[in-house]
Amino acid sequence: MTQFDELYRTAILKIMNEGFDEYNERTGHYTKIIPGLTFELDKGFPLLTLRKIPIKLFIAEQIWYIMGSNNPDDFVNKFTKIWEDFTEEDGTIPAAYGYRWRHAFGRDQLGLLIQHLQGAPGSRHGVVITWDPREDGLGNPEAKKNVPCPFTWTANIIANKLHIHSVVRSNDMMLGCPHDVAGFYLLLCILAAKLGVKPGKLTHTISNAHIYDIHYKQAWELVERTNDHPPVHFEAQENFYDRAEKGDESLVPEIAKLLESNYKPLGPISGLKIVL
């Protein structure tokens, strides 16, 4: 199996066997939870092969984030409708990740990150924040429909490679985690190409790693699977970042084709429904 397949399968098995059984008031579901889970991924593109992952979905999301838009109709809704449940009446998502990276807090964090690491590749100040402490979390009664799960990430150039550490407050392990890991690694590859360095390690840390009660059967099905799959290879081009900034729709199928050329996943697992 690939590196991510093995680590992910082990994590799911650990949660199912050792996770704490907790009731979640917001969703009305029971979950099995492990506090504090980390993946370290540096051998190939971490695209889960134990079940098929919708590739174009996370590609379109990352391009939309790089654009810095808070309106899904600008780009991502042309490829997936999963953000419709989080869209406010005015058609925007105020907490859209890319919007926070590029327009919130008075700074273009993503643009400044690239500029900063180009001039000071040894810097340890490459921090990007998604969470807005003025309005996110802590039971805010005026909270919007979407509260960021990946709330911060850091970028470091070490040994001529770009390494990203993403920190996620909450991850639905059966649906959200594989999607988020693939998305962040794609971001890592695109930024590395823009900076003229190689892609390095993605460290993905989850504060609350949980499996919902309606996914228990599917979790046991997944841990029974194995797949003799070599590492998934992917190489971003230097112009991918600039094209993403401009919202180039042709970039989605182009990246998807590169990934699909060496991605041979097992079949889907039925009955996996999103819990909102």
Secondary structure of 66-120 as H, E, C letters: HHCCCCHHHCHHHCCCCCHHHCCCCCCCCCCHHHHHHHHHHCCHHHHHHHHHHHC
Query: Which structural domain range is residue 161 located in?
Result: 3-260
Domain assignment present for residue 77? The answer is yes
129 DSSP β-pair partners: 152
41 DSSP β-pair partners: 202
203 DSSP β-pair partners: 40, 165
Domain assignment present for residue 273? The answer is no
Contact call for residues 188 and 202 (beta carbons, < 8 A): yes
Domain assignment present for residue 272? The answer is no
CA atoms of 192 and 181, how far apart (whole Å) = 16
Q: What is the CATH number of the domain that holds 176?
A: 3.30.572.10
Domain assignment present for residue 196? The answer is yes
Q: Long-range CB contacts (< 8 A, 24+ apart) of 218-221?
A: 218/174, 218/269, 218/270, 218/271, 218/272, 219/12, 219/15, 219/16, 219/173, 219/174, 220/16, 221/269
CA atoms of 94 and 105, how far apart (whole Å) = 13
* Sequential pLDDT tens for the chain (276 residues): 999 999 999 999 999 999 999 999 999 999 999 999 999 999 999 999 999 999 999 999 999 999 999 999 999 999 999 999 899 999 999 999 999 999 999 999 999 999 999 999 999 999 999 999 999 999 887 777 789 999 999 999 999 999 999 999 999 999 999 999 999 999 999 999 999 999 999 999 999 999 999 999 999 999 999 999 999 999 999 999 999 999 999 999 999 999 999 999 999 999 999 998
Domain assignment present for residue 130? The answer is yes
Choosing from 104, 149, 186, 211, the catalytic residue is 149
The one-letter code for the residue type at 162 is L
Q: Which residues contact 257 (CB under 8 A, 6 or more apart)?
A: none
Domain assignment present for residue 267? The answer is no
Number of domains in the chain: 1
Half-sphere exposure of 128 (CA within 13 A, CB side): 29
CA atoms of 183 and 198, how far apart (whole Å) = 17
Domain assignment present for residue 275? The answer is no
Tokens 């492990």 belong to residue? 34
Domain assignment present for residue 106? The answer is yes
Annotated catalytic residue 177: no
